[in-house]
Amino acid sequence: MDGIIIINKPKGMTSHDVVAEVRRITGERSCGHTGTLDPDATGVLVVCMGRATRLSRFMMETPKEYEAAIVFGISTDTGDASGKVVAVSEDVKVPRKRVFEAFQRFVGDIEQIPPMVSAVRHRGRRLYELAREGITVEREPRRVTIYEIEPASLEDWPEVVRLGSQGSMRVVCSKGTYIRTLCEDICASIGIEGHMGALERTASSGFRLSEACTLNELRQAAAYGELDNLVRPIVEGVGHMPKCVVSEDEASRIKHGTQIEWDPNRAEPACGIGEYIALLGADGALVAVGEVRLMDGRALIQPRVVL
């Protein structure tokens, strides 16, 4: 089975568990997701099946959107609500306006130190494996991009943030961003402790939570022979890319890995040298993902992933 399924991941399951369940329900052995969610997090988990798995690396590069709750005045050893309390700010009295102003200091390219409970490798082992053994190691900061931060709803915010207060924020960010670290850093920037109370991913790989189904809905669809209603076509995985319709002859050459001449006027929207472009057949199906290259003064499209 080739296509994409958007799952609303429940709390308590790992991303790997969800993929394994999708594999079991659909019978498709080749399955993979486009970005891990922690077990305690909920929301959009995009699962690619069959030939769609070839697009995972492109889909992972797209921005992600989250709604996260910040708990003020209390920090934990994991940076989220599952950890043990390690520090408390006793005299917390911060106007919410000051917190909102702090949000803006984190918009743009920032550096984050991966938390010890992350899947980053250190000398061949995952950091979370070391953390379970009580081992803490030095971690190199990583550069990520925060595109937007804003309150998810003013109704969720007290006028004055005090010890134990919570407020929800909406974050649009690049891949590799640790939202728990962002919550901690925002609190640190206003001089108090803090941690992430809850996390929901509301968009990933170009898909939104409103488009997602639950695992139970997927099971029911399979039981009634209606899986096709929940499986998205492969071409939707490149919705973020410029597109170009190729001729039958060009499609044949592309499928054999042959470069084709490139006319920038054929792309919608515009596509420049070094960018990836989705190459579609006359029927709108995805033929390949190509890269626009300049060789000996000629603009060419080099097939990178052929479907």
Query: For tokens 């929800």, what's the residue?
Result: 168
Q: Which residues are annotated as catalytic? A: 38
Phi and psi at 32, nearest 5°, equal -160, 155
Are 236 and 204 within 8 A, CB to CB? Answer: no
CB atoms within 10 A of CB 284: 10
SS3 at position 235:
helix
Phi, psi for 289 (deg, rounded to 5): -110, 125
Q: What is the C-alpha to C-alpha distance for residues 295 and 280, in angstroms, rounded to an integer?
A: 23
| Alpha-helical segments (H) within 190-232 | 215-223
Count CB-CB contacts under 10 A for residue 179: 23
DSSP SS3 for 229: helix
Q: Which residue has the tokens 């797209």?
A: 62
Q: Where are the alpha helices (DSSP H) in 117-255?
A: 127-132, 179-189, 215-223, 248-255
Alpha-carbon span 12 to 274, nearest angstrom: 41
Provide the token pair at 38. Answer: 């922690």
Q: In what helix (H) or strand (E) does residue 151 lie, and over which residues does it extend?
A: strand 142-151
What distance in Å separates the CA atoms of residue 124 and residue 144, rounded to the nearest whole number? 23
